[in-house]
Amino acid sequence: MLNTKKNIRNYSKNELIAVFAELGEPAFRAKQVYQWLWKNSILDFYQMKNISKPLQIKLDEHFETYTTAIDITQISQDGTIKVGFKTYDNESVEGVIIPSEDRVTACISSQVGCTLSCKFCATGFLPRKRNLFAFEIYDQVNLLNKLAEKQYGRGLTNIVYMGMGEPLLNYDEVLKSLYLLNDEEEGLGFGAKRITISTSGIVRNIKRLADEGLKINLALSLHASNNDKRTQIMEINKSNPLEELLEAFKYFYEKTHNKITYEYILLSGFNDSIEDAKELVILCQDFPVYINLIEYNAVDGTPFFKSKKEHRDKFLQTLRDNNVAAKVRKSRGKDIDAACGQLANKIANQTI
């Protein structure tokens, strides 16, 4: 018999209210169920305690709850945990928990694979199979939070959309997930300032995000300070050149007043010269910018190498000499391919 049940986790609150009306149920019942699903992470209708048994049966007849599950895990020597998730349709994505002295950060994915094919990134070698749904992004955070509590004795403090995929090419579902994570009354209650979206630069959607009114943080995967070099390693720059990106980020800053972060991977002999640093300084003049310099993590099949320490240090000093706030971001989880640019569904099974 054909399964005609709908995934209740794909409905917004207003959509759920409308569906409940068709079933002859009042709006407040829809709101109760919505809160069970997202505030309490309860997916079994029969565990929703303030819902009557007849309504529980009706829900079970009409709906199902697609879920994401932890499939395999791997722990780095530095305490970083990489998690392989299995989706409802048996696809795989990865997430990472990065603990530090004052925070526990979750790095989450927004797509199965990626379309951008950035030349330095392992995920770029994977085909993009589909976008993740908002509930799948939510599930990553919820599951990683519980895992962090179990492993470190404390939950997540920060969330970064910096895993597999380009978040702003899955705009609608990412936006839905932001509200589910941010909502204090009916979601997980993560403050907007604790959430960062990292993008390779999708101009139209940076502006759309600015108009949403969410005071989240935005980071640009920059990695080169002129169009010629950036296009060589990031094809997205052909359709979203630096001039247009800077204008979009300026618009985002004017709307949110949140400082913008530039992520810049140092590639030996390609983008790590003093001249590159001086060009980068010019890109930091129109609004407050913080630079994260990232040490390159080796990826099989790429022609790039980690920048030498002396070049890295001179690059950093050039930025600071020109009053640009910058630091070298410590790379975590390299031994388990969990560091920046290494997520590619290569994960060994461990039990936590």
Two tokens at 251? 């618009």
Residue 62 CA to residue 8 CA, distance in Å, equals 9
The SS3 assignment for 319 reads: helix
Q: Which residues pair with 350 in a beta bridge?
A: 73
99 phi and psi, to 5 degrees?
Answer: -90, 145
Please identify every residue annotated as catalytic: 94, 340
**Exposed/middle/buried for residue 250 (C-beta within 10 Å: 0-12, 13-18, 19+):** middle
DSSP classification of residue 90: S
Packing angle of the helix pair 171-182, 134-152 (nearest 10 deg): 40
**Please, which residues bridge with residue 292 across strands?**
263, 327
Of 129, 140, 150, residue with least CA distance to 96: 140
The set of residues, in sequence order, having a beta carbon less than 8 Å from that of 133 and lying 6+ positions away, is 9, 10, 66, 173
**What b/e readout covers 38-77, taking b as 16+ CB neighbours within 10 angstroms?**
bbeebbebeebeebeeebbebbeeebbbbebebbbbbbbe
- Tokens, residue 278: 């001086």
